[in-house]
Amino acid sequence: MPLTLITWNTQWCRGVDGRVDPVRIARHALSMADFDVLCLQEIAVNFGGLAGSAGEDQMALLAAALPDHRALYGIATDQDDGRGGRRHFGNAIFTRLPVHQVYRHLLPWPADPAVPSMQRLALEAVIEAPSGPVRILTTHLEYYSVRQRAAQVEALRTLHAEACGHALAPRVAGSPDEPFASTPRPPSAVICGDFNFVPEDPLRARMQAPLDSGMPRWIDAWPLANGGAPHPPTVGVHDGHLPLGTWDYAFVTEDLAPGVRRVAVDALTTASDHQPLLLVLD
């Protein structure tokens, strides 16, 4: 059985028509594929200041629209709303597969006062795929600051090396019902999301650079399935406020690379200012 994954920057579920509609996002993803994993970026809760939003709980609305999938939220921004509540903004994973463990990694945010920026995060879930445990990570790197984006790429590489290190040298484990319990966290992984770099950017090459011996490096899944065909644009397709380009990717570890069967971008939907990307992996 293949593993089917969709990744999509939803622009807080705001379509090109200006309407914020989390249910539309869920329904369109379901129309694309019978997915096992849905990775979403820019999911907001109680952020009424975002264009088109009424401050709706987007996680709750998405979860209700995807009742067969477990909802996991990674909060990058957690603010006081001034009324005794909290405002949240981050990434989400919805999966119908068993989840062994979830990690929420805040990414580096070095000062860069010349540009706007926000805290970024990588949400990681260790799922039980048909072929065994796989780590699924979804992230959204900084848009405005090259310095911050570069630091975040290095952090993702470090996080991957750390996970591989634990797999290569398992720790002493506690009993199954305590925090010291050992749960699967294999080297095999998929990382996807909005990386805010184009294919020719050195940061894409850096994402794929070799790691220490025995640690599988990341490989961009698009050319594995599509050969020398250029990456299709994932932004600026229907909304001119962003330049036409490719910012959204799925990277797989090199041990999973032979199993990549399909990578495709849905160029037609206008439910966000980004286009969703589909990955099918044996």
pLDDT at 113: 98
CA distance linking residue 34 with residue 41, whole number of Å: 20
Chain centroid to CA 94: how far? 11
What would the pLDDT profile of 193-226 be if each residue is shown by its tens digit? 999 999 999 999 999 999 998 999 999 999 999 9
User: 223: closest CA among 195, 193, 246?
Assistant: 246
pLDDT at 173: 86
CB proximity list for 192: less than 8 A, separation 6 or greater: 5, 7, 39, 136, 137, 138, 139, 248, 249, 250, 251, 277, 279
pLDDT at 176: 87
Token pair in block for residue 151: 């630091």
pLDDT of residue 60 exceeding 90, the answer is yes
Classified as helix, coil or strand, 136 is strand
Domains of the chain: 3-171+182-281 (3.60.10.10)
pLDDT at 1: 87
The DSSP secondary structure of 56-94, one letter per residue, reads: -BHHHHHHHH-TTSEEEEEEEEEEE-SSSSEEEEEEEEE
CA distance linking residue 256 with residue 12, whole number of Å: 31
239 band by pLDDT with thresholds 50, 70 and 90: confident
Q: Tokens 């969703």 map to which residue?
A: 276
What would the pLDDT profile of 242-270 be if each residue is shown by its tens digit? 899 999 999 999 999 999 999 999 999 99
User: 168: closest CA among 255, 279, 238, 106?
Assistant: 255
